Structure 1
Amino acid sequence: MQLPRISGTVSAHLVRSLIGATTSQTKNRLARLPDLATEVLEDDLARISTPSLIRVWESLVLTEPRTTIGTLILEDAPIGTFGTWDYLITSGPCLRESLTQAVDLISTIGDPAAEKLLVEEDGRNFTIRHATGTWGPDVVQAVDIFALSLFLTRARAATDLHISPSRVTITHQAPPQVRQMARFFGTDQIHFDAPYNSISFREDDVRKPLPKSQPGMDRILAHHAKMLLASSHSVLEWHDHFRIVLTNAFQQETATLENVAACLSVSPRTLQRRLADHDTTWSAEVEAVRHERTMELLRTTDSPLTSIARHVGYSDARALRRAVLRWEGKTPRDVRKAAATRGAP
């Protein structure tokens, strides 16, 4: 079956669940992004750009760095929250087969270019390894813990038992909420600073028949999941997607051609060709986002000009002043005065 280009996107189900855990103010701010509007998130076939998903994660972890927010979200996320993918885990003949199928079809909810999953078995344990993209450290930690927690909560729902993993490994340092994590996972066998992220279940637990299993239902749901993927659609056009990636790169101070191309899973040369197809260039796009980001920082923060200059890629405050004068016909001080007069935040 030919599937649409879904790399660089995630399901609306996933984003809805995360946005639901944010504050009202944050929801309103995120809704201004073109693929996070309410009507978009209500479309179960919509695929949201991964950069927009990362903006949601950044909002979630901003108030509490190195948070275990993912475990809290999943405690209030019943089966069905993530659509068909959830039912793949509850419908198989045993947890081993259900989890394996859910790993194979992780693109139903996640970004196949960013989420890497691997199943391992050694006769005693059934292990799922997880790795994600190279975003900010707080976001990566939150995503990693969320992913492991997701498989645990779904395994418990599938078995109707409060099963505990035999072992959990996490590549990050132990967070302040380590005791909360131990209670959630039901084990003190959580190893931090590990070489990879993983969750292991005992072989006896994953081979027991599932109480909700119906013969053949797992195959029907797997086929349905593939049909949904074939019918899904990316909300953003390529250039809009590129612009979000570039804006995020500016916020993380990683706005180089090589880094942005890697985020889009293309070579720098291919990225430049794609931009040419849209009658623009890398330099023009950088200038446009730099302009937009500079104005935002001038109008909404009191950061020193030297700090803003460094953030948007200028050598010093002098170069920033010249750029603002060229863009706006005003000095940075005049821009800030005008924003204050309008009552800007």
Structure 2
Amino acid sequence: MDTGRRAGEPLVRHTVSPHLTRLLIDAGTAAGLDRGQVMRLPGFDTLSVDPVRIPTATIMRTWEAVGGALMEVGGVARVMELWRPGTLGVWDYLFTAAGTLTDALRASGLHFAVIADPVDAIAVTRDGAGVTVSWDGPYRDHPSYPLIAEFVPSMFQTVASSGAGRPLTPVQVRLPHRAPLSHAALCELYGTRNVEFEAGAPSITFTEADAATPLPQSDPALAAILNDHARITVETARPVVSWLDRFHLALETAVGDGPPELARVAHRLAMGPRTLQRRLNEAGTSWREELERLRQRRVDQYLRETSLSVESIAARVGYSDPRALRRAIHRWYGHSPRTVRQNPD
């Protein structure tokens, strides 16, 4: 396994570049989503500025906002259809100047923080079957995780194929979630019928021959320059994370760990519970409102886009008792969970 500390990690933790978020919004808009509605969501006011890093919570909200629209028009395939070299910044060109695909995957994994949160881990392994790149992100309980898991192998395959100058057919793609009733669209997306489900971290395996073949535009000197540029890009980026962004991240993390407590979230933010309540009040909101808003947003997506039971959903959004979730759903929609699920509109 190839590992390495990603440059700038302490400074940009829990932030991402705006590149991928912009691509997702473009894909959602192409799928029929109201772009203006998405751009009014919290945290989207700095997307046009490249030198900054935006909160990871912003891209997760983007996945929530565009996920439904993408699924209606063919899933994550629509995202990379809009990709062109340079869309994701310098990261794309790491696949062009490297000596081989293996070299490119190693460089892209080492510098994954250029486009992603440094807490995301990329591993590149090599065995008799070929070279595998896998992604491990801390979003397993997020309702958009299955869609993100399908996207990551597609992203690597598309950019790697561009660097190779020809379509690359993987040996295997592994996904963490259950197989859908039909996964023909995914087989078409990856160009292989060898798609394995409930298989751990998302990964894609390229043949040994593809991994070892010299890339057509290989340039060792340029590769060294691009690697330095990727490192500097992260180290010199300006994270734009307000205290409210940090609160949202702390709250989402707390919800994933079980029933959230105000005192624990305040401790994560290095402030007392009363100070947190006061600052939320100054921002025109409250602990109860923020918790309710987060829970409703996630529950809505779980009910409409997954087959998870009410008990499972309750645990994922921080309810210790499923009956409390049922009461909340009645309060939000005036209907039972079953009715909401059967009437997605």
TM-score, normalising length: structure 2: 0.73
23, 27, 38: which one aligns with 1:30:
38
Q: What amino acid sits opposite 2:249 in the alignment?
A: V
- Say whether residues 1:290 and 2:288 are aligned partners: yes
Percent of paired sites with the same residue: 24
- Say whether residues 1:280 and 2:288 are aligned partners: no
In the aligned structure 1, how far is the partner of 2:112 from the partner of 2:190? 22
Partner residue of 1:242?
246
How far apart are residue 215 of structure 1 and its match?
Answer: 2.8
Backbone CA RMSD of aligned residues: 3.9
**Bigger-Rg structure (1/2):** 1
> Using a 3 Å threshold, how does the CA distance of structure 1 residues 90 and 202 change in structure 2: closer, same or farther?
same
Deviates more, 1:122-131 or 1:215-224: 122-131
In the aligned structure 1, how far is the partner of 2:55 from the partner of 2:92? 21
In the aligned structure 2, how far is the partner of 1:172 from the partner of 1:235? 33
Partner residue of 1:182?
187
Partner residue of 1:14?
20
- Which residues in structure 2 correspond to 1:54-203 (within 5 Å)? 54-63=60-69, 69-113=75-119, 115-134=120-139, 136=141, 138-176=143-181, 178-203=183-208
Alignment check: 8 A CA contact 2:67 2:144 kept: yes
Q: Tell me the alpha carbon deviations over residues 228-265 of structure 1, each in whole angstroms, 9 at most, x when there is no partner.
A: 1111111123x12223225657998966149986xxxx
Partner residue of 1:48?
54
The alignment of Structure 1 onto Structure 2 pairs a total of residues equal to: 296
Alignment check: 8 A CA contact 1:132 1:143 kept: no
Q: What amino acid sits opposite 2:287 in the alignment?
A: V
Q: What amino acid sits opposite 1:112 in the alignment?
A: P
Partner residue of 1:256?
260
Partner residue of 1:303?
none
In the aligned structure 2, how far is the partner of 1:208 from the partner of 1:290? 57
Give secondary structure in 1 for the equivalent of 2:275.
Answer: coil
Give secondary structure in 1 for the equivalent of 2:76.
Answer: helix
Alignment check: 8 A CA contact 2:134 2:201 kept: yes
Give secondary structure in 1 for the equivalent of 2:124.
Answer: strand
Q: Tell me the alpha carbon deviations over residues 148-200 of structure 1, each in whole angstroms, 9 at most, x when there is no partner.
A: 11110011101111110011111111235511111121111111121332111
In the aligned structure 2, how far is the partner of 1:312 from the partner of 1:136? 11
TM-score, normalising length: structure 1: 0.73
> Using a 3 Å threshold, how does the CA distance of structure 1 residues 140 and 224 change in structure 2: closer, same or farther?
same
Alignment check: 8 A CA contact 1:133 1:140 kept: no
In the aligned structure 2, how far is the partner of 1:297 from the partner of 1:128? 33
Alignment check: 8 A CA contact 2:11 2:235 kept: no
Give secondary structure in 2 for the equivalent of 1:128.
Answer: strand
Return 5+ residue gaps in structure 2 as ranges. 1-6, 297-313, 333-345
Partner residue of 2:220?
215
How far apart are residue 71 of structure 1 and its match?
Answer: 2.3
